[in-house]
Every structure is written in structure tokens, then in C-alpha cells.
Amino acid sequence: MQERFLSKPNAKVHWNKQVVDCLSDGKEGMNEKLRAVVLEDTKTGERSELTVKGLFIAIGHTPATKFLKDSGLEFDGAGYLDLKTRHSNTNIDGVFAAGDVADGEYRQAVTAAGMGCQAALDAERWLGAKGLV
């Protein structure tokens, strides 16, 4: 995907930059529109403004699971927690996973939220089965 993007003549990469603010056109209410983002250079701290018409923020492209390395939990080949079924159960009884640590396929906030709901329901059922709620 990266090679496809970089091969496009109209593609521009802003290396070592992170979005730190969004700027509107100043209109109030429902007619307000995004006009630019403020970028911060991650090496120098210098800030610049980039005119844009839209912004999409990607999350979960690198699973934040390193802190679980010695936990006994099982991982897939990409570093996500390995869920054996469509449920949120991990290989350790009573441990449930969702979203960025468990979804290497869709990696979207909306699916992470749905998985979070699943995990909460699975945990509630597990606690009920143990007589804890």
C-alpha cells in the first residue's frame, strides 16, 4: 500500500509530522468546516499549517501489546492478541480483548467500539457464570 501511494504523482508525504490541532473556517454552528491542520515536526518541534479539506485519523496499525509480552496471553503473527473465536475471550480464562489489541483486520474506531461492547458483555456473562454478579 505504501509503494502504491508513493508512486502517485500527486502524493505528498509529510515525514516526521503529527497533527496537533485542527483549524476551522471560523463559521459558527453546522456550517463550520475544517480548513487546515497544525503539524508539529516530531524531531524539531517546529509547527506549520497545512491547508486541507478533510482529515482521517488511523488508529491501531501497530498493536499496543508489548506491555503484555510476558503475560501468558497468546498473540498472532502480527502481534495482536489471538482470539480463537468471534468472542473476545483470550487463551486466559477471564481475560477479554477488543479493538486495537485484537483487531488486525479492520482497525477502525467504530469496529473497536463494537468489539469493546462485545468484550463488556462477554465479561459480564463470565462474571455471572462464576456467581460474581
Give me the chain's average pLDDT, please.
Answer: 90
- In a domain, residue 121? The reply is yes
| pLDDT tens digits, 58-91 | 665 788 898 998 999 999 999 999 998 889 999 9
For residues 78 and 43, membership in a common domain is answered with no
Half-sphere exposure of 74 (CA within 13 A, CB side): 10
* Cβ neighbours, 10 Å, residue 60: 19
- In a domain, residue 107? The reply is yes
Query: Model-level pTM?
Result: 0.58
The confidence band for 14, taking pLDDT boundaries of 50, 70 and 90, is: very high
- In a domain, residue 59? The reply is no
For residues 24 and 78, membership in a common domain is answered with no
For residues 123 and 86, membership in a common domain is answered with yes
For residues 47 and 73, membership in a common domain is answered with no
For residues 82 and 110, membership in a common domain is answered with yes
Torsion angle defined by CA atoms of residues 101, 104, 107 and 110, in that order, rounded to the nearest 10 degrees: -70
Q: Of how many residues is the chain composed?
A: 133
Grid coordinates representing 94 are: 477471564
Domain residue limits at 32: 2-51
Q: What total number of domains does the chain contain?
A: 2
For residues 34 and 73, membership in a common domain is answered with no
For residues 25 and 74, membership in a common domain is answered with no
For residues 8 and 37, membership in a common domain is answered with yes
DSSP per-residue string spanning 34-50:
EEEEEEEETTT--EEEE
CA geometry: angle 2, 37, 5, nearest 5 deg: 15
